[in-house]
Amino acid sequence: MHFFFTQARINSVYFTFLSTIKGLYYISFSLKARDDVLTELQKRYGSAVTLEENAEIHGPVITQIREYLAGRRRVFSMPIDVAGTTFSKMVWEAIRAIPYGETRSYQEIARAIGKEKAARAVGQAAGANPLPLIIPCHRVIGGTGKLIGFSSGLSLKTKLLTLENSYKEK
């Protein structure tokens, strides 16, 4: 499989983007430098994967993330090409439908996809989300309203929800 790869520093965080010819495939954000991220990607996807550095292809998503972090964008618009099970893709589509500045519980997502007893499986699918921010899994919370489960940590989840709430009314 061939991926286009870009790493961009936005604020103090390194965003890593992978795309196929069809669309955005994977995003991660961390404080790790480029070479460490490349090593992780090779481990994750194996030696059969080729990575071609291409900043131009990711220009629009980088611009949209900057706009989002500045409170000027509420919805992302770009082609995506995610890999996952049918169930995971249903969960991710339901998560994408959560409006900016709002939250839903894992149970509410399970109900929305017609799998009322699958809240735990919804949590697993959210945890496997390959496109955080684009598929805004930070908007999914526990049934009691508690912030739980976010692959990039609860501190970042809190910051993203606070950011959205601060711009929600504007």
- Residues annotated catalytic, as ranges: 137
Chain CA centroid to CA 116, Å: 24
Contact 69, 163 (CB under 8 A): yes
Three-class SS state of 71: coil
Q: Which residues contact 134 (CB under 8 A, 6 or more apart)?
A: 24, 27, 61, 76, 78, 80, 96
Three-class SS state of 30: strand
In the chain, which ranges are E strands? 2-10, 13-19, 24-30, 50-53, 104-105, 140-141
Measured CA to CA, the distance from residue 36 to residue 7 in angstroms comes to 11
